[in-house]
Amino acid sequence: MKGDNPVVEYLGYCTKVASQKAKEDFEHWARWKEAPNELQRKQLLQESVNRFNPLVQHLTSMWGSAPQVNKPALQLAVKDAVVKAHETWQPGKSSLNTWVNWHTRKALRHVAKHSDLAYTSEARSGLMGPYQRALDTLREELGRDPTDGEIAEQMRQPEKTVRRVRMDLSRADVSSSSFAEDPVSLFAQKQSPIAMDVISLMDKQPDSPDKDVFENQRDRMVYNYMRGVGGVPQLTAKGDIAKRIGVSPATVTRSVKAIEQIIRKHV
């Protein structure tokens, strides 16, 4: 009866009319589905997903051209959609490429949802920490929220600059306030099977700074708080990490990107 075995149906379809790419897509997918153990499944899934990297790069470039879009977050969302497509595809109903394309459109939500704070100018980004400290000090002294003019006087900055810094911080509070649970591990799992080994090495605290995989102490501190290693508690809010180490949330965002680059470099 038609529909009893969609894999057999799809193989028949491939033999007759499918493109060479569709056939190869199915073969890679089938090897993953039939792998005998978890390690092989991870490796074969990664190989199959990697076949769609040109599509991932194209969509990230096309959708991520606006400066307010968090391009790394968008790219991860597209890659995650490719994985989800592999997990839910039914060969008897469409080609894998069609199913992947349909799923990747869901990543468009990141264009509207995520702001990239790295596009905040370096000058204003450097004022976010001092702004927060001035705000806290004046709140304690005045017993109320200070005006922009009072904060500007405390910081010895033009009031116009203070207003812009406040707007940058409000963007941080809305779009980048919290991490997912253990975001480093979640990111590593999307890279390759060996990425988890990389972060286990990153967890180990070096004897001296020159032996550290991180190029600067700030990135190491952000990493430690994200993971809860090195004798510090795990924090899930970027704002909390920023306050602990005396920087702006935008600076924490840049450190997160540096952490992701280190993982990519070693896998």
Please give the Cα distance from 34 to 43 (Å, whole number). Answer: 12
Q: What is the residue-wise DSSP string for 30-65?
A: HHHHT-SSHHHHHHHHHHHHHTTHHHHHHHHHHHT-
Return the half-sphere exposure (C-beta side, CA atoms, 13 A cut-off) of residue 159: 6
- What is the tally of structural domains in the chain? 3
Percent of the chain past pLDDT 70, that is, above it, reads 71
End position of a domain, from candidates 96, 113, 130: 113
Q: Is the pLDDT of residue 119 over 50?
A: no
Angle between helix axes 128-142 and 148-155 (nearest 10 degrees) is: 110
Residues 121 and 139 in one domain: yes
Please give the Cα distance from 57 to 59 (Å, whole number). Answer: 6
Query: At residue 237, what are phi and psi to the nearest 5 degrees?
Result: -110, 130
Q: Is the pLDDT of residue 117 over 50?
A: no
The parent domain of residue 26 ranges over 6-113
Q: Is the pLDDT of residue 19 over 80?
A: no
Instruction: Return the amino acid letter for 10.
Output: Y
**What's the Cα-to-Cα distance from 6 to each of 9, 89, 93, 96, 238, rounded to whole Å?**
5, 11, 8, 13, 47
CATH number where 164 lies: 1.10.10
Query: At residue 266, what are phi and psi to the nearest 5 degrees?
Result: -95, 5
End position of a domain, from candidates 90, 113, 136: 113
In a domain, 245, yes or no: yes
Instruction: Return the amino acid letter for 126.
Output: G
Q: What is the pLDDT of residues 162-190, one digit of tens each?
A: 887 776 665 544 334 455 556 777 677 66
In a domain, 1, yes or no: no
User: What pLDDT was estimated at residue 150?
Assistant: 92
E strands along the chain, which residues? none
Q: What is the pLDDT of residues 125-148, one digit of tens each?
A: 567 778 878 887 888 788 888 888
Q: What is the pLDDT of residues 251-260, one digit of tens each?
A: 888 888 888 8
**What's the Cα-to-Cα distance from 145 to each of 132, 142, 167, rounded to whole Å?**
12, 8, 16
Please give the Cα distance from 247 to 145 (Å, whole number). Answer: 21
Please give the Cα distance from 23 to 249 (Å, whole number). Answer: 47
User: What pLDDT was estimated at residue 153?
Assistant: 92
What residues form DSSP beta bridges with 237?
178
CATH number where 50 lies: 1.10.1740
Q: Is the pLDDT of residue 267 over 70?
A: no
Residues 68 and 148 in one domain: no
Would you say the pTM of this structure is higher than 0.75?
Answer: no
Residues 124 and 169 in one domain: yes
Q: What is the pLDDT of residues 61-112, one digit of tens each?
A: 776 665 555 667 777 778 888 888 888 888 766 778 888 887 887 666 555 4
Query: In the chain, what's the furthest Cα-to-Cα distance?
Result: 80
